[in-house]
Structure 1
């Protein structure tokens, strides 16, 4: 059995996340209780309201607190990945699994990132839309053509290449609306508006990128101790890569998850465990594995019962 850990991004959070873990497992409880802002984080996770939890400055550290605690619980059961990958914020979870920073530093970094992304988004009125049924190449080319004809006043770009046939565009409200009409004419199956609290993974996050650069200068990162796929490149971290530069780039440029998944599916990994609420990342993986008729096992850890089932499955099949 060869295992990959997958980590969810923003949008997967839900009120009540982690409460069953907290009530049942001392390890999870101790992880959260020992955080400097643990009480605030627990309130957002367990009680919400959803509007507060979904503000990126709260979402990011809540998701990190959950993911890091569960990752350590799995390690205590001698369940560790050969490879790690995450979606956007989830990349920070993958790096945690790879030993790039400790738990407190992981939550502190995502707290900082969330705060700076929240500030960078202030006053910027943008829209985001998932384009289904068109190739990433067509979506990219169409956005570039639109921009060349309209200029920065009608900014629109691809913020996420999620999986085969699904890309997400982000830009000014009018530009996104026009592009939705263009994509429908080009044969898109659907165009679905995505509710987010800011124009993430676009040039509007430059201030957040600059802030992260300063943060990493004061808090240098360790090198990953296992293979990690990076969103900004679509490829594995390579010896000598400047990881901090990749994370600075990631916050203000396209997430190349589709390429990350292609790399995973071309490997000998046969078991995938998504850590975090929802099944977004594993859903993309499942769709792309079917396209190439590859038989893999996908597991999810959203609840305490999920966790126990995963531990049981892995131990029975090692």
Structure 2
């Protein structure tokens, strides 16, 4: 049974796993993306995470490709009311930064690409030091008032800036954020000590970490740095292999043991560990093919014991 998650104090409620859509229009073409979206929702998933900048870094792309694919899928399947869509602003080449006019224009462009009348969860993707935070906070709140956005999230901000956002919002009577998206996984643990977890707990933010599988390493995909086949398996393979040191091997050994005992894949164990950490609503994880979905979906139902959680945390310490 999957325990559903309320996102902060909002009316949004989701299954405890977000499908990362950064691969759509990049390493997954339209047909493959449709297959993944179909498989994800048929398997009990209902939360899709994208951004307006995905995937502008790909030669020939201009940004917004992921949103466009999702919008076409939503229209083709007629499933808009059955899923929660999160997207982000600040990295699209035409809508860079978080100035108020840019946030408004970017939201309208995202709505058009997504073929919908509302964004369920709208994130400030990266902090914008060139724009007064008061201006950004007000712009996001105005989108909620306009009915274009249902709830607000913050991604890649420091704890101090998240705290400042709340202070400004309360002083101005603006809508408060309900979600936080940091970099966090079994091997990347700064979230636990840099103040973000404390802020999330204090403010009731629901946390959805990205890179939950450490770019594939915590799926057990990369175990041999000398393998040319592995190194070319995906655009992130080289970065993932960077985790293959004594600490990484220790973590893999514990993951392997739990996975074998539970009869699940290594990725399922890694994501379950993340889901069961304090303040976490669910990890974000992407799939290029339907074959990769089963391990992600299984993680929503896998409950690790306190002993397993401690063993994994200790191995990664």
Using the size of structure 2 for normalisation, the TM-score is: 0.30
Q: Which has the higher contact order (CA 8 A, sep 6+)?
A: 1
Using the size of structure 1 for normalisation, the TM-score is: 0.30
